[in-house]
Every structure is written in C-alpha cells, then in structure tokens.
Amino acid sequence: LHAQVISGGHYDVDCYVEDPNGRTIYKETKKQYDSFPHRTEVNGVYTFCFSNEFSTFSHKTVYFDFQVGDEPPILPDMSNRVTALTQMESACVTIHEALNAVIDSQTHYRLREAQDRSRAEDLNGRVSYWSVGETLILFVVSVGQVMLLKSFFTEKRPGSGGAGT
C-alpha cells in the first residue's frame, strides 16, 4: 500500500490496515505519505481506511496504490528455466524493468503536479482576494483625499444673519 495526500489541510491523514480477522496490522497517524509492504499470511479481504477525523474543516485528496500479488513473469516458463536467458530475452527483461521505473517516475511526477496545482490554485485565490481588497482600500482613500482637498479650497462664508450694509 502506497499512499500520499495530494491536497487539503496540512497534507496529513490517518491510515490503518486490518486483516480478515479484524486485527490491525498497520496504523499511522498524521502522515503526508507512506508505504506499507506486507506479505499476507491469512487469505481473505484486507481492509484499509484513511481517516480525516482530526481535521474536520479541511477536505483532503488522497492518492493510493494497492498492489496485490506478485508480478507475473515476463517470459513464459521463466520461473522454471534451467538455461541462461538469450540476449533477446535478457534485453526484454531489462526493457521491462526500465519501463516499470518510468511508470513509477511518471506516477511520482503526476502526484507532484497535482499537489503543486492545488497549491497554485489556492495561492491564486488568495492573491485575487488581496487584490480586490487593495482596490477597495485604494478607492476609499482616493475619495477621502479628493474630499479633503476640496475642503481646503472651498470658501467658508460667515452666517447671513445680522444687519446688512
């Protein structure tokens, strides 16, 4: 089981894994990413759960990869071979291993891109709100300055009550 929090909160989540008998075989709290390799001893349905109980206000996006079983052999009868691999077969094995490494790298980069996109969109929202606030403050200050300058140049006339000339 490989898991990583892509977005939300402080990028942490609780996780546990239970075997078919209900025994907890793995439990971690507040992890951003983690990996849990385990060889099963009991056949049946294993349960895993990601919990966000400690952070009820922030929603989180979690990527997980759950691999079951061993990878089948690339070439037929590869597991019970007696002779060495031919040059073509060893080249196929090498290419297969390189492609698996590429798949892992692409998954890693996809996760990083999704995480960075989430952060960029959050930052974009904050910058937009800040810009609107600055615009409103600038407008209020401008109107205040115009009114203040206008009051400097308006003539105040004395009261019109009293004797005229």
Q: What is the mean pLDDT of the chain?
A: 84
Q: What is the model's pLDDT at position 11? A: 74
Residues of the chain with pLDDT under 50: none
CB 25 within 8 A of CB 63: no
**Residue 30 CB partners (closer than 8 Å, separation 6+):** 10, 12, 13, 14, 54
Q: What is the model's pLDDT at position 143? A: 96
**Can you spell out the DSSP letters for 59-79?**
--EEEEE---SPPPPSSTT-T
Q: What is the model's pLDDT at position 12? A: 80
pTM of the model: 0.54
Backbone angles phi and psi of 16, in degrees to 5: -145, 155
Helices (H), the chain: 87-153
User: Residue 125 has which token pair?
Assistant: 């929202």
Q: What is the model's pLDDT at position 135? A: 97
